[in-house]
Amino acid sequence: MNKDLAKALSDQVNAEYYSAYLYLSMSSAADQAGLKGIAHWLFVQAQEEMAHGTNIYQYILARGETPAFPAIDAPPSNFSDAKKLFDEVLAHEQLVTGRLNKIATMAMQAHDHSCYQFILWYVNEQVEEEESATDIVNKLAMIGDNKGLLLNLDKELAARTFVNPFPNMFQ
């Protein structure tokens, strides 16, 4: 694998772990606001992000490259309300999509078909990531200031379960 691509993948591990940090920070804010279902949804999201990052780390090693470990940025910790929080989730996922598309283009240009194939899983996963965030943003826009409806959505989001998309990762 060329060194630029290896660095881009290492940076993506960092970005996935930053995403996990961001969602944990959001989860704790929701928990403290009494929105336990939203806190749970974000906690599951953070677990997914760690799985995404770990899987890329393992791929870097499998390709004989040395992963780098740059510092993970501190996430914000103040979120004014659920709607604004999920606006930020959606904006963040759109940013991640842009990053992954860039890596896919780099892999394509390097004729690294394995890396291209590997990163395509992530590119496609972003469709679902953006769709679920958009769905929640739209619901929160409809809910407005109605606390009862917000609690209904909170209950709905409490039902999310974590399924590791890479079940052999820790074996």
Q: For residue 135, what are its two tokens?
A: 């769905």
154 binds ligand FEO (CB under 6 A): no
Among 8, 13, 14, 16, binds ligand FEO (CB under 6 A): 16
Q: For residue 90, what are its two tokens?
A: 């959606």
- Considering the complex, state which of residue 19 and residue 25 has its C-beta at the smaller distance from ligand FEO: 19
What is the rounded CA–CA span in Å between residue 14 and residue 141?
32
95 within 8 A of 19, measured Cβ to Cβ: no
What is the rounded CA–CA span in Å between residue 86 and residue 92?
9
Nearest approach in angstroms of CB 145 to ligand FEO is 29
Among 8, 22, 56, 96, binds ligand FEO (CB under 6 A): 96
- By rule CB under 6 A, what count of residues binds ligand FEO? 7
- Considering the complex, state which of residue 18 and residue 150 has its C-beta at the smaller distance from ligand FEO: 18
Q: For residue 156, what are its two tokens?
A: 């709905």
Among 35, 93, 116, 153, binds ligand FEO (CB under 6 A): 93
Q: For residue 102, what are its two tokens?
A: 């860039």
| Dihedral pair phi/psi, residue 9, rounded to 5° | -70, -40
Q: For residue 30, what are its two tokens?
A: 């929701």
Single-letter code of the amino acid located at 67: P
- Considering the complex, state which of residue 129 and residue 154 has its C-beta at the smaller distance from ligand FEO: 129
49 binds ligand FEO (CB under 6 A): yes
13 within 8 A of 67, measured Cβ to Cβ: yes
- Considering the complex, state which of residue 52 and residue 139 has its C-beta at the smaller distance from ligand FEO: 52
27 binds ligand FEO (CB under 6 A): no
Closest residue by Cα to residue 6 from 50, 95, 68: 68
Nearest approach in angstroms of CB 134 to ligand FEO is 13
Among 19, 25, 27, 55, binds ligand FEO (CB under 6 A): 19
The footprint of ligand FEO (CB under 6 A) covers: 16, 19, 49, 52, 93, 96, 129
